[in-house]
Chains A and B, each alone.
Chain A
Amino acid sequence: EVQLVESGGGLVQPGGSLRLSCAASGFTFSTYAMHWVRQAPGKGLEWVSYISSSSGSIFYADSVKGRFTMSRDNAKNSLYLQMTSLRAEDTAMYHCARGLRPVDYWGQGTLVTVSS
Chain B
Amino acid sequence: DIQLTQSPSFLSASVGDRVTITCRASQGISSYLAWYQQKPGKAPKLLIYAASTLQSGVPSRFSGSGSGTEFTLTISSLQPEDFATYYCQQVNSYPPLFTFGPGTKVDIK
Q: Which residues of A contact B (CB under 8 A)?
A: 33, 35, 44-47, 50, 57, 59, 61, 95, 100-109
Q: Which of B37-81 contact A (CB under 8 A)?
A: 38, 42-46, 49-50, 55
CB distance from A99 to the nearest CB of B (A): 9
- Supposing A47-B98, A59-B95, A59-B97 touch, asked if A101 and B32 sit within 8 A by C-beta, the answer is yes
List A contacts of B101 (CB < 8 A): 44
Q: List 29 A-B contacts (CB under 8 A).
A: A33-B96, A35-B98, A44-B100, A44-B102, A44-B103, A45-B44, A45-B87, A46-B100, A47-B99, A50-B95, A50-B96, A57-B95, A57-B96, A59-B96, A59-B97, A100-B91, A101-B50, A101-B91, A102-B34, A102-B46, A102-B50, A103-B46, A103-B98, A104-B55, A105-B46, A106-B43, A106-B44, A107-B43, A109-B43
Count residues of chain B with CB under 8 A from any CB of chain A.
24
Q: Which 7 A-B pairs have the closest CB atoms?
A: A102-B49, A106-B43, A45-B100, A59-B95, A44-B103, A47-B98, A104-B46
List B contacts of A45 (CB < 8 A): 36, 38, 44, 87, 89, 100, 103
In chain B, what residue has the closest Cβ to A52?
Answer: B96
List A contacts of B96 (CB < 8 A): 33, 50, 57, 59, 100
How far, in angstroms, from A112 to B36 measured CA to CA in the complex?
Answer: 23
CB distance from B48 to the nearest CB of A (A): 9
How far, in angstroms, from A59 to B91 measured CA to CA in the complex?
Answer: 13
How far, in angstroms, from A3 to B98 measured CA to CA in the complex?
Answer: 22
How far, in angstroms, from A33 to B94 measured CA to CA in the complex?
Answer: 14
How far, in angstroms, from A47 to B2 measured CA to CA in the complex?
Answer: 13
CB distance from B43 to the nearest CB of A (A): 4
List B contacts of A107 (CB < 8 A): 43
